A and B are shown apart, each in its own frame.
Chain A
Amino acid sequence: MKGEPKKLALTVNGKPYELTVKSNTLLVDVLRKELKLTGTKVGCLDSACGACTVHIDGKAVRSCSVLALQTNGRQVTTIEGVADGDQLHPIQEAMVEHGAIECGFCTPGMVMSAKALLDENPSPTREEVREAIQGNLCADEGYVKYIEAIEIAAEKMRGGQ
């Protein structure tokens, strides 16, 4: 039957889920509405702002631009899966300490894009940092602080001071 709900088995932040979703459901709606993981933000819902960025199999992807069913059998990581309990991830810590967070709406997406970069490339150039968050819009225009915070986090993650 047209639009009949389908089974979706995926792992989110290390936890396996088995859900039944309508075929036209976007990944971001499964995360926010079904799993109540509202850290992932919805900005434009149109592939333009990057606020809904999550990781699928370790890569930064926009969750508003992926059908939920396309993540069947895949590993999804959201902003809720980044901190280790109460211990913030170095990227989050650097963003807080460096004053990169203004209104905070774009921050989850920024963190996910930055983490995808640093997981793959621990010593990025400034150009590579800029490229990684090119698809994340900040309405407060706080890009420089974000870039600096990501560089501070990178250094810390490499074991520097």
Chain B
Amino acid sequence: MIADFDYFAPKTVKEALSLLSQYREGAKMIAGGQSMLVVMKQGLLAPEYLIDIKGITALDYIKYDEGKGLRIGALTIHRDIEKSPLIQKHFGVLSEMERNLATVQTRNWGTIGGNLCHGDPAGDPAPVLIALKAKLKLASSGGERIVEMEDFSKDYLEVALKPDEMLTEIQVPAPPPHTGTAYQKLMVMKGDMGIVGAAVSITLKVGDGVCQDARIALGNCASTPLRAPKAEKRLIGEAVTDALLVEAGEVAAAEAAPPSDVHGSAEYRREMVKVFVKRVARLALERARAAS
């Protein structure tokens, strides 16, 4: 079962960071623990010190401002993001993503920050946040820094946090006008981890409807959530047609380096990347047009 550890439950970010700077590599932070307890039960993770930040209520918030965009506290639970009227109104894709993230029980206790710090390349929030050009605020006793969501994941279950750092906030800029974003994943059962996932954001130029900007991010297609810049380039500057979406899917499939496992071979996943990039990009395009 779970190995013994020393347990701390700080009530403030400052307290948490001070514990972290004291114990560093020996310590792990736990938020909802919906992913972390699984790997602790498996014995893959056995921290000496466990810093439980679930009770830091100051990191549980959702704020929106037209200029600044969206700010989500790292300890906001998935279910609150799913149900937030602010998010449903301004970032509907995040709410849609949450609806298929595991089960209600998991979403009721698990946090967005915990999900991102777990660094599972099959996780749902990361590809969507990459497509939305999100940034993460990391804090340590020495201060704060901002990293791009797309630079945060480093390898399977590894992220860019230094030993004395914690994630405190997810920042999503307000998208430019005429932008549409969508996310879907291949599931056997609702709530499954995606066998593959694709998030696409498309911004159209006013007037002629040419694709001005595109972001494509894939889930479970490499050791990290993966941006597909070559596929994005196929769309940017073009009047996007179905034929072009098929091409973008093919390019993305070539960029992917998916694993082979019981859920699907690498070959199958590449085929599914073609399907999902095309399908999700079409939906993003429809939404961008509807926003025009």
Contact = CB atoms under 8 A, between A and B. Distances in A.
B2 A56 contact: no
Contact of B104 (A3, A6, A22, A134): A134
Max count, chain B CB within 10 A of own CB: residue among A1, A56, A67, A131: A67
A70 B105 contact: no
B108 A67 contact: no
Interface string A29-57: 00000000000000001110010010010
Interface stretch (B32-40, B169-177, B234-242): B32-40
A115 B238 CA distance: 52
A73 B52 CA distance: 14
A3 to B, nearest CB: 3
A132 interface: yes
Given A2-B48, A6-B7, A70-B33, A50 B41 contact: no
Contacts of B2: 24, 26
Contacts of A26: 2, 37
Contacts of A67: 7, 30, 33, 37, 52
Interface string B3-16: 11111010000000
Residue in B3, B4, B5, B37 whose Cβ sees the most chain A Cβ within 10 Å: B37
A20 interface: no
Contacts of B52: 67, 69-70
Interface residues of B, number: 30
Given A47-B106, A134-B191, A135-B103, A23 B50 contact: yes
Query: In which size bucket is the chain A interface?
Result: 20 to 34
A132 B41 CA distance: 26
A13 interface: no
A4 B6 CA distance: 7
Interface string B159-171: 0000000000000
A72 B10 CA distance: 12
A45 B37 CA distance: 11
A7 to B, nearest CB: 11
Given A46-B38, A67-B33, A70-B33, A53 B6 contact: no
Interface of B: 1-7, 9, 30, 33-34, 37-38, 41, 48, 50, 52, 54-55, 79, 99, 102-106, 108-109, 190-191
Interface in A1-25: 1-4, 6, 22-24
Nearest to B190: A134
Most buried by B among A113, A131, A135: A135
A19 B109 CA distance: 23
A46 B34 CA distance: 10
Contacts of A61: 105, 108-109
Given A2-B5, A69-B52, A113 B30 contact: no
A62 B105 contact: yes
Contacts of B106: 47, 62, 65, 135
Which 4 residue pairs of A and B lie closest in terms of their CB atoms, listed nearest first?
A135-B103, A3-B4, A23-B7, A24-B2
